[in-house]
Amino acid sequence: MNIRSQISMVFHLDKCIGCHTCSVACKNVWTDRKGAEYMWWNNVETKPGTGYPTKWEDQEIYQGGWEKNGDSVSLRGAGKLKGLKNIFANPNMPVLDDYYEPWQYRYQDLFDAPEGDDQPIGRAVSLVTGEPMEVQAGPNWDDDLSGTPDYARKDVNFKNVSAAEQDAMFQLERMTFHYLPRICNHCLNPACVGSCPSGALYKRGEDGVVLINQERCRAWRMCVTACPYKKSYYNWSTGKSEKCVLCYPRLESAQPPACFHSCVGRIRYMGVMLYDADRIEAVASADEAELVDRHLDIYLDPNDPEVIKAARANGVHDSTIVAAQKSPVYKFVKEWKIALPLHPEFRTLPNLFYVPPLLPAMASVGEDGNYDSVNETLLVGVEKLRVPISYLASLFTAGNENKVIDVFKKLHAVRVSRRNSTVGDVSEQQLNTCMNEAGFDTHVANAIYRLTSLCTYEERFVVPAAHREESIEMLESAHDYKGNTGFGFKERPARGL
């Protein structure tokens, strides 16, 4: 056993209101720089939709992620031979138009324009060329299904959704959509790290954050194509690639990242998971049908004495083990099993899990044109969902519909259980049926309810501090460092000190 700690995440999609506060928080902290304007380390997509960059899920276009190769995995678009063949040009690179051309408005014209018959306008000016431009696309152009024929109907996940089901999804009054906030998954088997010819990308040992060394990056941009989630971006101004750093300076001081902290809907959870690094290759190369199960198996019980012993032996700090024991992510993913990874078929073993949106159909327009509720009771079962299960299965379980249904049965049971205890109009038979189907009792249902709806800051974010104050003792005298911190020279004077 090679136990390592990994900072992991859960996004509860039933709670996401698509306000983009996370995206803006991230933008303000990290990517409000020249060359980084088009980067959205955090973005919120509307599903169904093509996402950002457009059609990022379609690996026929971008050739990202891993593919099964016997008992191992190999990169779909990179590797020694492919790298040599593509040494002068990376053939599946997204172009700026696959994202969008960033722009700013010339607001000063509103004040400086000479008096005339027309209202002055602030023209859009490209942040790349500096020339006035026609805005053609933006990072969330498909938000809330706007431009549906262009975006939502071209969702890559419709591959296994029948034409009738698709049509139903887009009919007025029956329409359904949900939001999908995305950040870097800080995968256990990151394709970006595997693809970098310069070795500039690495996965931090202490918490598994995947980072790009800006000094070693040589602008190959192999990570841009290799990341199947398209979360590595190329900065055209600095000539280096950049990606989500999971606000590691905040993590190190036991704070959640900016996007987590600012989340209005409190949909985000962060915690430590302990996993067995020796099993990564075997899990990543598992058959598609059991990919999700094998993936979840790699995370180990932090209360198991064997695991604790192995973790300690591997240099995992006690405070990290304690954090792993209190991890909300462990509860969602392992205990309750109601959170699923996004696109596990990319085989990168992502560490961001989503609680899928239940989206119950409350009412719809019938064949006679009348608007009516679809069910006798208020809480409809899993069978009458507006969104086709096959669609969600394509997103979260590599096509395994039963796994999505299992999660929905649990989420539904929690609602029925809560309805029973707050309103009390649920028949005992219905309650028992739901609980049996979900496979847990009201205690668990209440625990899920608590962590979903009444969670405090401390419950949502269990981030162990990085103990930099201890690690510095290995390099310099803590006393001297304390006495000099915040004062000194950026560059030593030529005369010496």
1 binds other proteins (CB under 8 A): no
Nearer to other proteins, 51 or 388 (CB): 51
Binding mask 56-85 for other proteins (x = CB under 8 A): --x--xx----------------------x
471 vs 489: CA distance, rounded Å: 23
Nearer to other proteins, 142 or 276 (CB): 142
Alpha carbon 454 to its chain centroid, in Å, reads: 22
Q: Determine contact, residues 252/468, Cβ cutoff 8 Å.
A: yes
92 binds other proteins (CB under 8 A): yes
Tell the smallest beta-carbon distance from residue 79 to other proteins (Å): 14
Tell the smallest beta-carbon distance from residue 76 to other proteins (Å): 12
Dihedral, CA atoms, 201, 202, 208, 210, nearest 10 degrees?
-10
Tell the smallest beta-carbon distance from residue 165 to other proteins (Å): 23
* Residue selected from 4, 20, 55, 178 as contacting other proteins according to rule CB under 8 A: 55
Tell the smallest beta-carbon distance from residue 457 to other proteins (Å): 40
* Residue selected from 81, 84, 89, 163 as contacting other proteins according to rule CB under 8 A: 89
277 binds other proteins (CB under 8 A): no
381 vs 181: CA distance, rounded Å: 26
* Residue selected from 28, 91, 282, 471 as contacting other proteins according to rule CB under 8 A: 91
Burial of 407 (0-12, 13-18, 19+ CB in 10 A): buried
Binding mask 236-265 for other proteins (x = CB under 8 A): ------------------------------
Q: Determine contact, residues 73/285, Cβ cutoff 8 Å.
A: yes
Q: Which of residues 97-116 bind other proteins (CB under 8 A)?
A: 97-98
Pairing type for strands 352-355 and 3-12 reads parallel
65 vs 191: CA distance, rounded Å: 6
177 binds other proteins (CB under 8 A): no
Structure tokens at 479: 């006393």
Burial of 271 (0-12, 13-18, 19+ CB in 10 A): buried
CA distances from 44 to 38, 245, 398 (A): 14, 18, 21
Nearer to other proteins, 49 or 328 (CB): 49
* Residue selected from 5, 8, 46, 54 as contacting other proteins according to rule CB under 8 A: 54
Tell the smallest beta-carbon distance from residue 14 to other proteins (Å): 30
Nearer to other proteins, 49 or 344 (CB): 49
Binding mask 120-139 for other proteins (x = CB under 8 A): ----------------xx--
Tell the smallest beta-carbon distance from residue 153 to other proteins (Å): 11
Nearer to other proteins, 141 or 299 (CB): 141
Tell the smallest beta-carbon distance from residue 367 to other proteins (Å): 32
Query: Is there a cis peptide before residue 53, judged by omega within 30 degrees of 0?
Result: yes
Tell the smallest beta-carbon distance from residue 239 to other proteins (Å): 21
Count the site residues for other proteins by CB under 8 A. 22
Burial of 210 (0-12, 13-18, 19+ CB in 10 A): buried
Long-range contacts of 323-326 (CB under 8 A, 24+ apart): 323/271, 323/272, 323/462, 323/463, 323/464, 324/5, 324/271, 324/272, 324/273, 324/274, 326/271, 326/462
146 binds other proteins (CB under 8 A): no
Q: Determine contact, residues 8/207, Cβ cutoff 8 Å.
A: no
Give CA angle at 35 (29, 40), nearest 5°.
Answer: 50
Pick the closest to residue 26 from 178, 215, 250 (CA basis).
Answer: 250
Nearer to other proteins, 57 or 406 (CB): 57
* Residue selected from 53, 190, 357, 464 as contacting other proteins according to rule CB under 8 A: 53
* Residue selected from 29, 93, 128, 254 as contacting other proteins according to rule CB under 8 A: 93
221 binds other proteins (CB under 8 A): no
459 binds other proteins (CB under 8 A): no
The DSSP-derived string for 10-53 is EEEGGG-----HHHHHHHHHT--STT-TT--SSEEEEESS-TTT
Nearer to other proteins, 53 or 350 (CB): 53
* Residue selected from 95, 163, 164, 423 as contacting other proteins according to rule CB under 8 A: 95
**Part in contact with other proteins (CB under 8 A); list of ranges 102-110, 124-132, 147-155, 281-289:** 147-155
38 vs 15: CA distance, rounded Å: 27
Q: Determine contact, residues 400/393, Cβ cutoff 8 Å.
A: yes
Contacts with other proteins by CB under 8 A lie at: 50, 53-55, 58, 61-62, 85-86, 89, 91-95, 97-98, 136-137, 147, 150-151
